[in-house]
Structure 1
């Protein structure tokens, strides 16, 4: 029994040792496999990194850095290059709207340019290969294919592009040239600091803010194919030839001149004519406005040849601008003709309303065209400045124009307060001084009174139409007003009314006679003698 128990214990112990040994062996195997895998992975990664580093280090490159460090460029030309591929890297500050390097020439014309800018997300880069046909905005070259390679992106406010250009040692209109050229010409440029985010290879760009020319020794670029590193300094044989700052004066001058004309001078011309009532200075202002507008149009036409978006002369801003300027020329000619004829006839002409209405169209059309022009120039924020200027002019000039209008209305009302159609009050009804009267004035009053008695019916009313009134309507009595003349002449009521008025007029004449008689007492005998003949003549006229 004891032996049996001892045997079973020995078997159990042996089994336990076997299990422990198996577990230990398994753990060792797992650990060994893990260690082997880790070592293998580490070795592989190290080998890959080393290989990559070796490849990058081995990639020959010609390198250039602009003096202002706005552009860094490196180029690799594979020594076994049956496909005519090129490897290149470009770097520069992301504060620039775009950065570009061109090769094949020291001018824009026929250069192949690699232009990079932020994509629509602002986190990566769009690279557009472009070719310029002249000193103007380059156009996308559809036949040029560029591949994006690892390391491309925007980091630390810096654009970085690594890429390969397929079969691009030559292109339409140009080529890189011989790889033994120690003074190969390149150009570089960067855009102004504005926001440009686009995935399009045809994205509209603004004119460069700085640009230059540099040369490189292409023999330094020939070597093992690979992406060149961003350079820290110029390679041997690389140097900057020139650097220029572009002020873009034409664009600014075009905007300033046209805003000055349509927001400043033309509204001022209205104020000069309507408020100051000065046709001469109005003409000077209109001539000056037209001259400045023509200069602005010339600058605009020249600018239109520089950008892809305006080369075809199809934009609304350009079309409206030409129409407005043609209207301005027509308005000036009509105003000139109107002024010449007016000086001869002192009457308005058929040109006047056309001149006025052209002005009413030209000014708002020019201002609206300005709001269209700023977005076309990729300066949409300047629309707010134009709006402020326009509102300011409206606030200043509107009260002046309203004041001038009220003044003209008052003059028109004052001119219409007289009698109807050329009729003036009879001289004998004019106000006279009661006590202080000179000889000349007394003589005039006396003669008027004599004439009144000669034709007691009074002078016939002036008819502007040239037609004489019926005989019975011409029997005007002294003191009778043209406004109160009865409209139903010939009726019994009108006859009675005419008789009453005749009596009143007679009494008025008597009063005037007594007044004159009293004045004549103070005069000499000759004046009194002339007066004594008056009653006989008066009686004869009444007979």
Structure 2
């Protein structure tokens, strides 16, 4: 009797030890747990993970063996088609794009996985995972449920909820090579590829601290994807819903660990803030150039009249072009970092940038030709129309940039209003300028009763009599309108 009691106590002690050998890190209401059985090492053997979080998230993911997306083995979890199971989608990270499904990861859903009480729980057994370092990555995206049984379902890009976390591998080491989470969750359901039933599952408490749970159930599956993503380097071959930041996510700066906020902390390493600052700087500078400064420079040469107007116009456009070069450099950096180089916004931006390199040269050629012949030439028309094309493309591309960045509606409205006002002023100035120019020119001979050809001396004399030419100022070459 005594020996059986001692054996039972030893068995309970062994179970407690296995349960305590789980290290858990929480990001707000999302928790990630890890267990390394005694029979495994950091380089070989089985490793167990648990991912749990509210169903208000479209998907939740964790990346192993890297502190960045490129090269990380990523476990993505989302609701299955019936809304009661969860789908495990093992993927391979290649950068800041949707990770591709990966058949090589030996990942299986274990008992206790599923959806219950507004919570997704995935107990994962990985037979091919190695712990090269203690840095992991996490991400989640709020939104409607994906509800797919496919391990290669398209997922939207995460917003603010992402970053790095550090597991204490020493605290996670211990226990037998069995599901360490089965005693803390419960579930029932059928097995299937990439899904596990979860009826009756309960939310996990702080495993290894004071939390406990009970229940039983069955449900297993493998996360073997059936196809891979192709096409555009966007999520699912289409434009992502936004950059990795946005507005109002409540988990943006949360840094907690375990359930008592002790131990290694989760961190985003300031990446979201840096990315947001770069994007804001790019948008503000480029928007300022095309919504205000470039149109204003074009308006000035049409409507203003003062000594040095030509150089005033040229100065505004050159300063604006310098600002845009800085905005363009930030845009190229963002496009490479987020792998958006095949998107329409950066492509149009590159086209506009190249055209802007040509425009000053045409402007200088136009100025020299106008001084020589006193009227517009083919180069003049090229300079004028290229400027119009650049302004229109730039304003449109600014709006496309707001859409690509999934910016707040207030920012889009403000940009649209300002751009519309200045563009309307630009169009009005162009019309007024052309009418002024038409009135100041002598009539064409075909408009006179003498027939076609150049204007006759009599017509020219009559025009000059009706429109006397004022005395030329001393700085005549500097004040002539070259619009």
* 2:334 corresponds to which of 303, 328, 331: 303
Match for 1:65 among 10, 25, 34? 25
CA distance in structure 2 between the aligned counterparts of 1:280 and 1:226, rounded to whole angstroms: 77
Q: TM-score, normalised by structure 2?
A: 0.59
SS in 2 for 1:256: helix
Correspondent of 1:176 among 114, 131, 143: 131
Q: Which is greater in Rg?
A: 1
Q: Matches of residues 80-99 of structure 1 in structure 2 within 5 Å? A: 84-93=45-54, 98-99=59-60
Which of 315, 318, 321 is 1:290 aligned to?
Answer: 321
TM-score (norm 1): 0.54
**CA deviation map 1:349-404 (0-9, x unaligned):** 43211112212222332333344444544x2775x954663355334552574366
Confirm or deny that 1:226 pairs with 2:187: no
- Structure with the larger helix share: 1
Give the CA RMSD over aligned residues.
4.4
1:146 matched to 2:107? The reply is yes
Pick one of 212, 218, 234 that aligns with 2:164.
Answer: 212
Shift of residue 223, structure 1, vs aligned partner: 1.9
Alignment correspondent of 1:239: 263
Cα deviation for residue 55 of structure 1 reads: 8.4
Does the 8 Å CA contact 1:118/1:126 hold for their aligned counterparts? yes
CA distance in 2, matches of 1:196, 1:359: 47
The aligned counterpart of 1:74 is: 33
Q: Which has the higher contact order (CA 8 A, sep 6+)?
A: 2
The structure-2 alpha-carbon separation of the partners of 1:375 and 1:222, relative to structure 1 and needing over 3 Å to count, comes to farther
Gaps of 5+ in 1: 1-53, 170-174, 178-183, 431-543
Q: Supply the distance in 1 between the matched residues of 2:332 and 2:464 (Cα, whole angstroms).
A: 65
Deviations 1:497-534 (A, max 9, x none): xxxxxxxxxxxxxxxxxxxxxxxxxxxxxxxxxxxxxx
Whether contact under 8 Å (1:105, 1:186) holds in the other structure is: yes
Deviations 1:314-373 (A, max 9, x none): 333333321221112112221133224434554434321111221222233233334444
8 Å CA contact 2:134, 2:168 repeated in 1: yes
SS in 1 for 2:318: helix
1:140 Cα offset (Å): 4.0
Number of paired residues? Answer: 357
The correspondence of residues 100-499 of structure 1 with structure 2, limited to 5 A, is 100-106=61-67, 108-117=69-78, 125-133=86-94, 138-153=99-114, 158-165=119-126, 167-169=127-129, 175-176=130-131, 185-191=134-140, 197=146, 199=148, 200-201=152-153, 203-206=155-158, 208-218=160-170, 220-224=172-176, 225-228=178-181, 229=184, 230-232=204-206, 239-241=263-265, 243-244=267-268, 245=270, 246-247=272-273, 248=275, 249-276=277-304, 278-307=309-338, 310=340, 313-343=341-371, 346-377=374-405, 379=406, 386=412, 389-390=415-416, 392-395=418-421, 397-398=423-424, 401-402=427-428, 405-406=431-432, 409=435, 412-413=438-439, 416=442, 420-422=459-461
Task: Report how far residue 185 of structure 1 moved.
Answer: 0.5
